[in-house]
Amino acid sequence: MCTGACSKFIAIPLYILALVSIICNIILFFPDFDTKYAGQDRDGNPRITAEVKYMGGLIGGGIMALIPAIHIHLTSAKNCCANRCGMFLSIGFAAVGVAGAVYSLAVAGLGLANGPTCLTILPLPQWGAPFANSSGEYLNNKDLWKQCIEPDNVVEFNVALFSTLLVAAGLQLILCAIQMVNGLFGCLCGTCSSSE
């Protein structure tokens, strides 16, 4: 497979993963698919998990992954790269994708480790993050999930979406790293153009 075809093979999944990351991050702003949680409670406490506001999926896994995806896709036009300079530039753009994937990965990992913000009943009804100091141990004990009484099924909601972001970011990291190697080969050894 020539470097241009490899670039096209990498660009298409990056588009899909960026879209998945953006959608997951937007949905995380609306626990229980309700807009009322996007604000604060009467005491001024946030009702959305703090890591959602870092927008790892929107900025890191979304925009910062779309930048290399677009360039890599353009570089792979007609399964051949325009020139060695295009492949060299794809290394830099892929590095942007790696940075975005690492950011998204870190935010999603924190979101899973700290758990959701929810209305708890213990010791008094209040909004907070009851699993923040559990180092993710709540993930193995579903009985603890009953501490969150509002929004409905918020723990499952956060775990599913942050896990999806974690997987998407991991795949983006791998694809962008492969493109960095592919770009290096395309820059040093030439592309699949018959004129080279």
Neighbours of 33 (CB within 10 A): 10
Residue 71 maps to a domain: yes
Helices in the chain by DSSP H: which ranges? 3-28, 50-53, 64-75, 84-114, 154-189
Residue 130 maps to a domain: yes
Number of domains making up the chain: 1
Return the pLDDT at 76: 64
Return the pLDDT at 2: 65
How confident is the model over 171-183, as a mean pLDDT? 90
Please give the structure tokens belonging to residue 151.
């929004």
The strand pairing partners of 127, in sequence order, are: 119
Return the pLDDT at 35: 80
Q: Would the pLDDT of 106 be above 90?
A: yes
How confident is the model over 102-116, as a mean pLDDT? 93
Residue 179 maps to a domain: yes
Residue 194 maps to a domain: no
Q: Would the pLDDT of 114 be above 50?
A: yes
Residue 153 maps to a domain: yes
How confident is the model over 155-178, as a mean pLDDT? 94
Closest CA to 178 of 5, 57, 58: 5
The model's confidence at residue 137, banded by pLDDT at 50, 70 and 90, is confident
Residue 149 maps to a domain: yes
Higher pLDDT, 160 or 10: 160
Domain that holds residue 149: 3-189
Residue 116 maps to a domain: yes
Return the pLDDT at 77: 63
Return the pLDDT at 14: 92
pTM for the model stands at 0.85
Return the pLDDT at 196: 42
Residue 77 maps to a domain: yes
Q: Would the pLDDT of 79 be above 50?
A: no
Neighbours of 86 (CB within 10 A): 22
**For 17-60, what is each residue's pLDDT tens digit?**
999 999 999 999 988 888 877 776 666 666 788 888 899 999 99
